[in-house]
Amino acid sequence: MGRRRQGALPGQPPQRRLTSIAGGRDEGGPVEGQPDAVRELNHATAGVEADQARLWHVVLSVAGKVTPLAELRAGLERLAHDHSFFLTARYAADHAEIRYWEQARDLHDAAAIALRLWGEHKVTANLPPWEIVGLEVVDRPTYHKRVAEGFSDPPPRLGGVEPY
């Protein structure tokens, strides 16, 4: 019998299990009707201190069919309003780049959350059905070092949605 990673579901291959920030839960307790695996994960992560989460600078690039600029800008502005750590977005008719901060335990979690961002907000922000074509995730010290060394420009206007 092979070893299973702790927390892997029976019959499932061992894999990294992602968690999200548990917003809206009272004192981090279990929610009625939760599957046992989720309840077990919540219990296992209940002792994790909030200061273990780190800030990650994310640049998400998306592209697809040409979209009217007014619609695209309105969608990106709604996304900026919905996402609390949003920095800036630049866009053209067939592509866009979004820069923001993500809070996560490690690079894997930050990247997984970033890869879900566009898809999860397509409907609520009325974003075009574009695909993700690029992703960069760096920790906060690396981002600030790049800016200090002149390799990266700070965002021109925080919260701004600007054309290229």
Q: What is the DSSP string of 90-139?
A: EEETTEEEEEEEEEESSHHHHHHHHHHHHHHHTTTTT----EEEEEEEEE
The answer to whether residue 12 sits within a structural domain is no
Q: Which is nearest to 163 in space by CA: 24, 86, 68, 85? A: 68
The answer to whether residue 15 sits within a structural domain is no
Percent with pLDDT over 90 in the chain:
51
pLDDT, mean of residues 2-13: 45
Q: State the total domains in the chain.
A: 1
pLDDT band per the 50, 70, 90 thresholds, residue 153: low
Mean per-residue pLDDT over the chain, rounded: 77
Dihedral sign of CA atoms 119, 123, 124, 126 in order: positive
pLDDT at 85: 82
The CATH number of the domain where 94 resides is what?
Answer: 3.30.70
pLDDT in tens, 71-91: 999 999 999 888 878 889 999
pLDDT at 31: 44
The answer to whether residue 4 sits within a structural domain is no
pLDDT band per the 50, 70, 90 thresholds, residue 152: confident
pTM over 0.75: no
Question: What is the residue range of 59's domain?
Answer: 53-163
The answer to whether residue 113 sits within a structural domain is yes
pLDDT at 21: 44
Beta carbons of 14 and 5 less than 8 angstroms apart: yes
pLDDT at 83: 80
The answer to whether residue 57 sits within a structural domain is yes
Helix (H) or strand (E) holding 70: helix 69-82
Q: Of 3-7, 99-103, 117-121, 151-155, which range is least confident?
A: 3-7
The answer to whether residue 34 sits within a structural domain is no
pLDDT in tens, 14-71: 444 444 444 443 444 444 444 443 344 344 344 444 457 899 999 999 999 999 999 9
The answer to whether residue 61 sits within a structural domain is yes
Joined together, the tokens standing for residue 73 give 């800008």
